[in-house]
Structure 1
Amino acid sequence: MSALLEAEEAFGRALPVVAGALAVAGAAVAVLPAGVTARRELRRAWGTSVVAALLFFAALYPVDSPGPLLLPAVLGLVAVAEYAALLRLARGERVVLGVAAVLVPPLAYVAHVLPEEVRFDLRFPALVLVACVLAAVLSGDPARAGERAARTVFGVLWIPLTLSGLLVLEGTAIAVVVAVAFGDVAAWCGGALLARLGGGLARPLSRLSPDRTWAHVLTGGMGVAVGLGAVGGFTVSLWAAVLCGCVVGGLLGSALTREAGAEGTGSWLPGFGGLLGRLGSLLSALPLAMLVAL
């Protein structure tokens, strides 16, 4: 049973909330003393966040414009490029991921709005699966063909298919994006402070990311609740879905970069590194949100 927010209502609520949060964060960053070692990076991160928010809301306004259809494709193209570079995938796999980034979200949306009796069709996912495998098979790389095929399939599922949630979730997608942003910031700021108190909250969640503790989960959960509530989308099930997505996405991103022996997914985004690293929580939160909201 669908329980989605109206896109216009969510947009109207989210815009002043995000603007206010950025204004408060900007004031806090501006008064940081010169002795704070991370001051320069925090200012760069704030500037990047402002630009990202402007682009995000510009893409959504008006809500019936082509912008919402283009947003997943643009994000997906950048994210799959970083993913392929991180895992050293070959040209064939990069082409498959790029095509999927452009085609999967709008096709998923079309399938979502079709009548139920004609909605489910296995031909397109079967074609995507064959394309992912074929690129690896034709590479003539017996040492890594299976690994490359598996990583391409996962890349399509994790990035283009997940980003289709920005379309099918309608206004709820805006609430999820805001909640993920609030949750990530709250986990980064509050988690570091609470972890210093020691005890159970300072225990790492997983060996995949020793820096992420239960304190990060606690404060991240608070941030997610505030973000959902501010946009008018709070329900216990959606809160749990987004929080779990933030946690799983953070651990998965850390695991991928550690496996690749990299510091991050990129270095072009001032204050953050790469786009895929910033999207990690969202890419896990969106599919869980679709499970509870659609």
Structure 2
Amino acid sequence: MKDPELLYLVGGVVAVLIVATLITKLLIRKSGETPVLVNLRQRVNAWWWMMVVFCSSLALGRGGVFGFYALLSFLALREFITLSPTPRGDHRTLTWVFFLILPLHFVFAGAPWYGMFLIWIPVYAFVFIPIRSALAGDTERFLERTARIQWGVLTCVYFLSHLPMLLYLPIPGYQQEENAKLLFFVVLVTQLSDVMQYVFGKLFGKTKIAPKVSPSKTREGLLYGGAAATLIGTSLWWATPFSPAVAAGMSALLVAAGFFGGLVMSAVKRSLGAKDWGRGIPGHGGVLDRLDSLLFAGPLFFHVTGYYFGTNMNTAYSQPQWMHDALRLWMGG
């Protein structure tokens, strides 16, 4: 938070929120507390709280950021799992998931041990989950139940954890302390794309893209809102290691990934018979309703950026010596 450019970004968002708050108050004073305006006020207030929490995590350094995203993963996975009934046979599996697999994943990420970060969930956890569920002896809808847990862990934990990993991404000519701006850029552009698509969809939306999956998503909202978010992202190239042209391409990638991430998670949500993932954030639904667009945007941006700059995370962040010594001691070596 000592980076002047990061402070400019934060100040810009705060200024927008102040304007949004004033406009909302004026509209309510003029038209009264209609359902639409009450929802708008709830959304703006929720954005204030989310901005405060996000910036507080940045102020605490890498440890604060990884702790913040570990908590978000826990809350998101909890919403995902509790949205549908969980058979008794899966209870012990979920205990392992919440209190061992998830925390260890963020330990490996924060250490950082990049190799284990990559394979801990898609290899070790995905092998362990069906084994533990099979040992419970409940075979009814076994494949469906196991796949649901694995999908929740993949999206809510593994995909989301790529966002704090941006703090470790080696970029030539870019001080690693500046990587917080890259994280801010991803979150800002992706979330702005959601807001712009919602606004333009309400104003000009006529052609629904997938009405049975997400009735509010329209072709006009995606086109105009995505273009607006891409322009804003391009204008912020000075806070990134990208040229204006590359910043435009990366912003477009975030818009597309965010849109399809939200669409896929809406399809999952509808298949479970729910409108929202939860009620934890007034005006926004649950935590997962606010994070769904970031689930696809985070890992795609992380790996595309790493490929663009030719970084080798596995070489830069091999197993830390302290972790190597601890594992040898635990194994009796």
Normalised by the length of structure 1, the TM-score is 0.85
Are residue 211 (structure 1) and residue 219 (structure 2) matched?
Answer: no
Q: Distance in 2 between matches of 1:136 and 1:122?
A: 21
Q: Distance in 2 between matches of 1:63 and 1:120?
A: 20
Cα drift, residue 254 of structure 1 = 1.4
| 1:94 maps to amino acid | L
Matches of residues 258-269 of structure 1 in structure 2 within 5 Å?
Answer: 258-269=270-281
Change (3 A) 1:238 1:40: same
Q: Distance in 2 between matches of 1:35 and 1:271?
A: 14
Matches of residues 70-219 of structure 1 in structure 2 within 5 Å?
Answer: 70-89=67-86, 90-98=90-98, 99-109=100-110, 110-112=112-114, 122=119, 125-170=122-167, 171=180, 172-195=182-205, 198=206, 202-205=207-210, 207-219=212-224
CA displacement, residues 249-292 of structure 1 (integer Å, 9 cap, x when unaligned): 22112111211111210112211110001100011110111121
Are residue 55 (structure 1) and residue 60 (structure 2) matched?
Answer: no
Q: Which protein shows a greater Rg?
A: 2
Q: Secondary structure at the match of 2:285?
A: coil
Q: Distance in 2 between matches of 1:16 and 1:108?
A: 29
Q: Distance in 2 between matches of 1:219 and 1:102?
A: 40
Cα drift, residue 224 of structure 1 = 2.6
2:249 corresponding residue in structure 1: 237
CA contact (8 A) 2:262 2:292 kept: yes
Please, what is the CA RMSD of the aligned residues? 2.5
Normalised by the length of structure 2, the TM-score is 0.75
CA displacement, residues 110-148 of structure 1 (integer Å, 9 cap, x when unaligned): 123xxxxx7798567532122221232233221221112
Matches of residues 12-27 of structure 1 in structure 2 within 5 Å?
Answer: 12-27=7-22
Say how many residue pairs are matched: 278
2:177 corresponding residue in structure 1: none
Where does the alignment leave 5 or more consecutive residues of structure 2 unmatched? 168-179, 307-333
CA contact (8 A) 1:10 1:175 kept: no
Change (3 A) 1:139 1:21: farther
Percent of residue pairs identical: 26
1:277 corresponding residue in structure 2: 289
Q: Distance in 1 between matches of 2:258 and 2:120?
A: 32
Q: Distance in 1 between matches of 2:229 and 2:260?
A: 14
Q: Distance in 1 between matches of 2:78 and 2:191?
A: 22
Where does the alignment leave 5 or more consecutive residues of structure 1 unmatched? 1-5, 113-117
